[in-house]
Chains A and B, each alone.
Chain A
Amino acid sequence: MSVEQGFGTLYSDLPLEELVERARQILPKYIYDELEEKVIKNEKLTENSKRRIIREAIIKYITSLAQPGEPVGVVGAQSLGEPGTQMTLRTFHYAGIMEFDVTLGLPRLIEIVDARREPSTPIMKVYLDEKHKYSAEKARKIARKLEYTTIDKILDRDPEWMAGIPEMRLYLDKELMEDKGVTIEKVVEVLKKAKLGEVTIESEDPPVILIELSERVLPPSEADNPMAYIALSNKVKKLYLKGVKGIKRAVIQQHEREVNGKKVVEYMILTEGSNLAEVMKIKGVDYRRVRTNNIHEIAEVLGIEAARQALVDEIMDVLRDSNLDVDIRHIMLLADLMTFTGVVRQIGRLGVAGQKPSVLARAAFEVTAKQLFDAAVRGEEERLLGVTETIIAGQVPRVGTGIVLLTSPHSPPDRAQAKAETSNQEGEGEKMEVGKQ
């Protein structure tokens, strides 16, 4: 109804095809696509009502545009900061994942805007390709490949040794070995590669391995020193068996999905710890859909655009989990501000706020004195453009109605004209200044 106000008869007598063309030009693609699907191709609607709907859509879109000067940054900061007061402080939360804890709520949000190198709880969601995602067995196989496994993960107890006898016995846990998918042969192979000495399997069940330590790793002079054995035992325990570095644990998740009316069970893997580049290389992993919550890792492996998207997704996830409603545009703006220079910058003193071109803005934020001295050394010029600086100088900030720089004398038309003419002669016409933008 009143949506039309101010638009008069704009487009009101265009034929349908032409209106559609206008809509295609004016509307963003996602809106146009929806319109096309639901209206233009809808056979049930009368042509007249189609025309009306399309025209209203165009008008509605134009009226919903952000106005020039709109301080979208401030509004964005408020829209994210205000609900922060309503967020949970609980660090650990079971986000539908029973297996391990994930940082959520305010602490996670702060972590994201701080652009920390490592999230406090790194997590990956590993989706599988067509061949592997329907079978729990295949999924488990991949999960085993992912888990970073060292020898101590499959030990039943600490290695046994006795000072003076250059031998060490490893007692393995059969169940753990099966769970991790490690065979005794694999362990022997790894131990042999480590070149500690002769390696023999003493018993298959229970699995016990005997290492006869060579003189190279245990010189005779040290043979009576218990400390040497402890050092060796620690070395053995840390030996790498398999898996991806950084992945502490991998758990399989089951999802039910409906495809063409049929229920399909799909499997995916959740990991504690993150290593995007390596996991993407694993066969059977759908590398296009692998996700991690480590923003910096995404920026390094996939590039800054992906990092921007990851920022948006991560923040939206946190907000959704806390049941808070924030428009995605605010989040996108924040993500763009953090990434538009090509690297992920944090929001605070070491990033966006600390890299502003204005000395006063930086000094008013944090580390005041240092900012002023450093600016003096560099010989910086404070141009008083941003919000903080203009307020400090007692001027009007150049956002909102402040972006208007064109002024005209306030007097009745005839007098204004006369005045303008005289002042032009005096060369004072510059008082009418046109804004730079």
Chain B
Amino acid sequence: MVYIGEDREDYIIKSIVMRMLPPREINKMARVTITRPELYESDGSPVPGGPRDPHFGAIEPGEICPVCGNTREHCPGHFGRLELARPVIVPYYSDHIYYMLQATCRVCGRLLLPQEKIDRYKIILKKLKKRWPLLAEAFLKEVRKEAAATMECPHCKSRQFKIRYIRPILFYEERPEGETRLTPIDIRERLEAIRDDELELLGMDPEKNRPEWAVISTLPVPPLAVRPPITLETGLKSEDDLTHALVEIIRQNKRLSNLIESSAPETMIEDAWLALQFVIAAYIDNELPNIYPLTHKSQRMMKTLAQRLKGKEGRLRGNLSGKRVNFSSRTVISPDPNIGINEVGVPVEVAKVLTFPMRVTPYNIEEARRYVLNGPYKWPGATFVYKKRTGKQIDLRFQRNYKQLAESLEVGDIVERHMIDGDVVLFNRQPSLHRMSILAHKVRVMPYKTFRLNPLVCPPYNADFDGDEMNLHLMRSQEARAEAEELLLVEKHIRTPRYGGPIIGGRQDYVSGAYLLTVKNRLLTEKEVIDLLGAAGYKGELPEPAILAPRKLWTGKQIVSLFLPDDFNYTGRAKINSGPLACDSIDCLHDSYIAINRGKLLIGVFDKAAIGAEVPENVLHKIALEYGDAKARELLDTMYKMFIRMLDLRGLTISLSDIDIPREAREEIQKLIREAKTEIEKLISDYRAGRLEPIPGRTLEETLEQKIIGRLNSLFSEAGKTATKYMDPFNDVFVMAKTGARGSEVNITQMVALLGQQVVRGKRVSRGFRTRTLAHFKPGDLSPEAKGFVKGNFRYGLRPTEVFFHAAAGREGLVDTAVKTSQSGYMQRRLMNAEQDLYVAYDGTVRDSYGHLVQVRYGEDGADPMATYHGKAVNVDRLIEMYGEIRESTNHR
């Protein structure tokens, strides 16, 4: 194994020049000339002069290449060639052939423009190429058009004819005596006549190419390494598609040369020649239009050259832009709130497979010896040792005497040791939609077979634990490891660059727990306080209790305050600050306005608005911005653990009784429904009687629909309000919805009151039978029930028709997501392709890798969105809040 080290520059490719393959190159690189289509003799040996000729390179184990004398490990493979009986046009080049035929004289081969124009255009082109390469392209197109429109050669005065081109290889000339096909020989003659100094204006580089090379008489045949035969279990050889295609070409070529030799009628020769052209076109791209694709006996299309390169699984996208890697692992993830957010739990089995090449130094030689002593099967051990002195690699699986090997270790050796605690790994969950989909974690080796993840880190990965799997990659060099740790560590990505807010933070139970801990009526005994602080790993004194007698009691706010920085100030609304609990200042009776002064939570509860993920400018975000990501991480690893423990102490569960409301509440809701129904009946009868006033620009039907939907929506929200009015404020379902932990008012309404209008294609359910949705309704019924309005709720159940409507709307949602993912995926791929080369240069400008200046200052102010307060580079109001002192009261602090 080679460890890439100091001499990296030596392997760097500076540039690759593209050109057409000249005939002399084809001949020069050919090591064998193919004449026969047969692959093997009857004894199984390859036919000399066939597509399996040994001169194409060694591919069998132990085979010696007759050309270079290497075995298959070192033989690069060699090209061969096939002399074509008649020349053939190469597809794809034919577009350019077409342009050239149009733009040059059919007699003298000159560009169809007067000399002075040619001279002028050359100068313009040179200048454009230097400064505006894109414009040069457009200019060439115009030149070509102008030349093609000239019907008399300005140089030799001969008349020109229109050329007709049928993709991919057929050319016709519309002569006065009739349309004549131009054979590759005719075409090559004309191309040969084109002058080198005019090629430039035809879009071809005269230093690299000659146009006649687009017509070939010798076909290069690729080495066997490009088209290796595979041996099936049955012992039968199965050839590559390319070899099959080549056999086809050789046969066709043979047929053509036989016809020519036997001086067959010209039409027969022409047909065979055309057939050869088509086969070669298919060999290059089997999906060209107007050709007969090459197929196997089973009618399956052959994969020829273009098919190898194309598409998602093709060479470019499948093997070159994206490569498969070693030292990676994938398994199911499960939650572990007890590990840090920077950590990931890794099963021992995985830790024993993924290894780190540890260079032995005087400082770690003892440690290295311990690993070797443990061997490959006992964690933490080692799998290989590379001896510096001998250059040998020793596989520990085949070693008996670990002790002797351990003792022989010297400085400079490399020990391939198991993954251990503290190693840096990259952790990833697909789809990798943003950079937070791959983060660096520090390893904690653990028993059992899943990766363990702190649930606080779910939002950036968009992970849950219903069977999700994730990938893990071990960083295998100190450089990579350091870079990952500095740039990709979870704590460095608490804030997202998408909108300048926190993406890591509390969700679900963390939010409910935080609320229940900081709520006004939470008083904790000493035992409970110690339990909570213990869970958070708090070290220090207990604060003075809020209540001393009859027994010592602490408030939840006191406990939370222990973790906030001493000089932290904050004011803002809590999530529960809405509806009846709304407040807009610190004078808040509902405890819904948060005020933190000098690190003490004075008023307000912690809920999603304070500690949640994806809430810009909340407590967590401001701490991350003002005290650093490390401080925010500390909070997530300590205070947040307390929120979970709070739920362990109190319990959080839901039951049917949580979504039960008293009889009078249900009756109230029924009354609301009846009221809405009568109003809608009135609307419908108005409509039928023609009394309904249409909304301008809308038809009567649309107006009616809009009014009905509007009324049903208001009914839904009224019913929701009525339902929540009767709910116990410490009902867990209600708590979760109110604090933003899980669920919403809509979910509650659907459980306890009614499901409401089901929508399909943005309208009330309308399709099914001819003038009605289901046979249960009268034709033309416009009433809410007949068009997908569901009065039932999840607590008391749905009627059969209601179940149907609900399912219809639900199905639409599923179809929508499926379609959407593919569409947005493609959009993201295109965006990524367009934008990937842009970066901020040292001078603060945004440029692409080719040097184009795209922005003079990134985002007009140069600020990184990730470092902003929800988009604001400097939050002046916050600075005043933090440091502003009022003149009159200079001594109050």
Contact = CB atoms under 8 A, between A and B. Distances in A.
Interface of A: 1-3, 5, 27-28, 30-31, 34-35, 38-39, 43-46, 48-49, 52-53, 56-57, 60-61, 63-85, 87-90, 92-93, 98-100, 106, 109-110, 113, 249, 251, 325-330, 332-334, 336-337, 340-341, 347-348, 351-353, 355-361, 363-365, 368-370, 372-388, 391-393, 395, 398-401, 403, 431, 437
Interface in B576-610: none
Contacts of A66: 840, 844, 858-859, 862-864
A81 B487 contact: no
B873 A64 contact: yes
Given A69-B840, A89-B819, 18 more contacts: A45-B886, A68-B842, A74-B435, A80-B828, A81-B434, A84-B827, A98-B697, A333-B846, A333-B855, A356-B837, A368-B310, A375-B18, A378-B203, A380-B18, A382-B17, A388-B833, A388-B836, A399-B849
Contacts of A251: 696-697
A92 B20 CA distance: 51
Interface stretch (B8-16, B682-690, B766-774): B8-16
A379 B16 CA distance: 10
B835 interface: yes
Contact of B18 (A355, A382, A437): A382
Contacts of A325: 498-499, 501, 616
Contacts of A384: 13-16
B516 to A, nearest CB: 28
Given A57-B876, A99-B695, A72 B831 contact: no
A73 B321 contact: no
A327 B495 CA distance: 13
29 contacts: A39-B884, A66-B858, A66-B864, A69-B839, A71-B839, A73-B835, A74-B435, A78-B434, A78-B435, A79-B497, A80-B828, A325-B501, A325-B616, A327-B500, A327-B868, A329-B858, A347-B834, A352-B835, A361-B833, A364-B316, A369-B92, A369-B310, A378-B18, A378-B205, A379-B205, A379-B209, A381-B18, A386-B837, A395-B12
Contact of A82 (B208, B498, B706, B861): B498
Contacts of B855: 332-333, 336
Contacts of A333: 835, 838, 846, 854-855, 858-859
B44 to A, nearest CB: 36
A216 B63 CA distance: 92
Nearest to B885: A49
B655 interface: no
Given A82-B434, A329-B858, A110 B18 contact: no
Q: Please report whether the interface of chain A is mostly helix, strand, loop or mixed according to DSSP.
A: helix
B434 A79 contact: yes
A52 B886 CA distance: 13
A41 to B, nearest CB: 12
A31 B861 CA distance: 9
A373 B281 CA distance: 13
Contacts of B830: 113, 347-348, 353
Contact of A85 (B207, B820, B852): B820
Given A83-B498, A369-B309, A65 B876 contact: no
A393 B321 CA distance: 9
Interface of B: 9, 12-20, 92-93, 95-96, 133-134, 203-205, 207-209, 214, 284-285, 305-306, 309-311, 314, 316-317, 320-321, 433-435, 483, 487, 497-501, 565, 567, 616, 626-628, 631, 695-698, 706, 762, 816, 819-821, 823-825, 827-828, 830-842, 844, 846-850, 852-855, 858-865, 867-868, 871, 873-877, 879-880, 882-887, 890
Contacts of A369: 92, 284-285, 305-306, 309-310
Given A325-B499, A327-B868, A383-B15, A28 B816 contact: no
Contacts of A348: 830, 834
Contact of B92 (A45, A67, A69, A373): A373
Q: Give the most central of A43, A88, A356: most B CB within 10 Å.
A: A356
A80 B501 CA distance: 16
A348 B820 CA distance: 19
A71 B824 contact: no
B766 to A, nearest CB: 15
A372 B92 CA distance: 9
Contacts of B696: 99, 251
A186 B827 CA distance: 51
Contact of A387 (B208, B823, B840, B849): B849
A61 B863 contact: yes
Contacts of A330: 498, 865
Contacts of B820: 85, 87, 89, 106
> 8 smallest A-B Cβ distances: which pairs?
A379-B205, A73-B838, A81-B828, A329-B859, A84-B824, A73-B835, A99-B697, A373-B92
A38 B850 contact: no
A99 B703 CA distance: 10
B314 A368 contact: yes
B831 A77 contact: yes
Given A74-B832, A364-B316, A379-B208, A403 B816 contact: no
Contact of B831 (A2, A336, A347, A356): A347
Contact of B835 (A74, A93, A326): A74
Q: In the complex, which of the residues A31, A45, A329, A403 has the most CB atoms of chain B within 10 Å of its own CB atom?
A: A329
B874 A60 contact: yes
B780 to A, nearest CB: 25
B435 A386 contact: no
A67 B864 contact: yes
A392 B13 CA distance: 11
Contacts of A395: 12-13
A99 B698 contact: yes
B860 A28 contact: yes
A227 B832 CA distance: 57
B16 to A, nearest CB: 4
A48 B885 contact: yes
A28 B500 CA distance: 19
A39 B628 contact: no
A2 B631 contact: yes
Contacts of A87: 820, 824
A374 B95 CA distance: 9
B823 A89 contact: yes
A118 to B, nearest CB: 19
A355 B134 contact: yes
B831 A386 contact: no
B17 A85 contact: no
Contacts of A28: 860-862, 873
A386 B850 contact: yes
B190 to A, nearest CB: 17
Given A53-B883, A72-B838, A384-B16, A365 B833 contact: yes
B873 A82 contact: no
Contact of B133 (A1, A92, A357): A357
A370 to B, nearest CB: 6
B17 A379 contact: yes
B762 A92 contact: yes
A431 B12 CA distance: 13
Nearest to B90: A373
Given A38-B876, A74-B835, A337-B835, A64 B203 contact: no
B23 to A, nearest CB: 15
A347 B831 CA distance: 6
Contacts of A385: 837, 849-850
Which residue, A48, A113, A370, A373, has most C-beta atoms of chain B within 10 A? A373
Nearest to B702: A98
Nearest to B858: A66
B285 A2 contact: no
Contacts of A374: 92, 95-96
B885 to A, nearest CB: 4
Nearest to B566: A1
A105 B698 CA distance: 23
Contact of B19 (A52, A340, A379, A398): A379
Contacts of B850: 356-358, 385-386
